[in-house]
């Protein structure tokens, strides 16, 4: 089945009900990357200003406040990844390097009242302070690093670059284990399967490739009918499926057959031009304007369709995707039920294109980050 999703009437059952809860201002340029810690206690943001911000809450409040700033790079951060053990954050930058920093921050009790943006003295310090010293600095790419992802065991890292290659790294030793001659264009997205045995790479050449993480052998190549550049891709908790985002379209693949089984298209968006393939064109901090960024979550009380195991039993799988462009058609996040392709909700609150998206481990919160001039993080909550 390869049908585009259109407006539909959701059947009875639990649907997302996110509401804008908070806005965070901590970056001078576009917010390019977001990820929650696996314990859900903090959110990490990266920007085209080269800065990492860590946001936490101080009990009993659940509102996020600025806890720590890491001056990671002198150039823009294109991607970040938090190790599943919550100890480290890796950054990918336009300076061709990957850097690894500790996530640890002052305890909530010691950090004082939370604020939705850094204190004035912190903001002033950023303008003059030197770079924060990383635990590891991984050098091997010859062009901007566009994507990075920790393995499930936190011991390996995979990176993708504008140099058309992907590298698998040994994090503890800080050395490259193998270089994958992955694609004929820039590698925009990378990831791991749940077991940590398979790596995915997605590229501007329109292909997704699956690799044996140990041998570096290419196991499978997935394409799409339009050869649209792949700007986002991830394995689902269900080991049979993979989700990708291209210019205006989300595709669901059966990994074993290599076939597209579902196609979802934001009903509130227009299809926008694909990336041009130049490192400094049509992108802010490495993320292409108009590219679809996808994320995955689950809600309880599933009605029908693909299900995943989660806390409390089976849950219904939902896909979140940005609409790309700014303006009337853009700046939104569309949420679909994966099995039925019904649209559960559209998040509207940004004035600029949303290029960063992260779902809280509980599925009850979503963080979204936008391009300049807005450069804000919105936090959405579903408390129903």
Domain spans of the chain? Answer: 33-290
Between CA 320 and CA 359 the distance in angstroms is 9
The pLDDT score that the predictor gives to residue 307 is 47
54-58, 85-89, 228-232, range with greatest mean pLDDT: 85-89
54-58, 194-198, 345-349, range with greatest mean pLDDT: 194-198
CATH of domain 33-290: 2.130.10.10
What does the pLDDT average to over 108-126? Answer: 46
Lowest-confidence pick of 37-51, 255-269, 338-352: 255-269
Chain mean position to CA 195: 19
Q: Which two tokens stand for residue 161?
A: 């670059």
Between CA 135 and CA 171 the distance in angstroms is 10
Q: Which of 135, 113, 104, 132 is nearest to 41 (CA)?
A: 104
Determine the Cα angle at 38 with ends 34 and 39, to 5°. 120
Mean per-residue pLDDT over the chain, rounded: 79
Lowest-confidence pick of 32-41, 288-297, 315-324: 288-297
For residue 311, CA distances in Å to 230, 314, 329 come to 31, 8, 36
User: Does residue 199 surpass a pLDDT of 80?
Assistant: yes
Q: Is 278 helix (H, G, I), strand (E, B) or coil?
A: coil
User: Does residue 348 surpass a pLDDT of 70?
Assistant: yes
């Amino acid at each position: 089945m390869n049908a585009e999703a259109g407006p539909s009437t959701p059947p009875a059952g639990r649907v997302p009900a996110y509401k804008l809860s908070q806005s965070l201002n901590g970056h001078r340029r576009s917010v390019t990357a977001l990820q929650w810690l696996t314990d859900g206690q903090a959110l990490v943001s990266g920007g085209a200003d080269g800065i990492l911000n860590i946001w936490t809450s101080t009990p009993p409040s659940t509102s996020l406040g600025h806890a720590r700033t890491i001056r990671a790079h002198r150039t823009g951060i294109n991607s970040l990844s938090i190790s599943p053990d919550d100890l480290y954050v890796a950054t990918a930058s336009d300076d061709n390097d990957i850097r690894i920093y500790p996530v640890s921050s002052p305890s909530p009790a010691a950090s004082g009242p939370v604020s939705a943006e850094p204190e004035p003295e912190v903001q002033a310090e950023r303008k003059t302070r030197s770079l924060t010293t990383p635990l590891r600095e991984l050098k091997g790419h010859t062009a901007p690093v566009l994507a990075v992802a920790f393995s499930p065991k936190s011991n390996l890292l995979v990176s993708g670059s504008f140099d058309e290659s992907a590298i698998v790294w040994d994090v503890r030793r800080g050395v490259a284990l193998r270089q994958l001659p992955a694609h004929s264009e820039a590698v925009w997205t990378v990831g791991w399967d749940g077991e940590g045995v398979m790596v995915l790479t997605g590229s501007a050449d329109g292909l997704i490739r699956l690799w044996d993480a140990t041998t570096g052998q290419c196991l499978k190549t997935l394409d799409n009918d339009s050869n649209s550049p792949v700007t986002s891709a991830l394995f689902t908790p269900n080991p049979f499926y993979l989700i990708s985002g291209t210019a205006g379209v989300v595709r669901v693949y059966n990994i074993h057959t290599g076939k597209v089984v579902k196609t979802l298209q934001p009903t509130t968006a227009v299809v926008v031009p694909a990336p041009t393939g130049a490192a400094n064109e049509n992108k802010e901090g490495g993320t292409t304007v108009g590219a679809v960024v996808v994320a995955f979550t689950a809600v309880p009380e599933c009605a029908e369709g693909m299900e995943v195991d989660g806390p409390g039993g089976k849950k219904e799988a939902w896909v979140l995707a940005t609409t790309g462009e700014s303006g009337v058609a853009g700046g939104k996040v569309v949420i679909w039920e994966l099995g039925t392709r019904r649209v559960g909700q559209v998040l509207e609150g940004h004035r600029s294109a949303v290029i960063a998206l992260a779902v809280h481990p509980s599925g009850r919160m979503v963080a979204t980050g936008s391009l300049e001039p807005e450069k804000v993080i919105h936090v959405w909550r579903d408390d129903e």
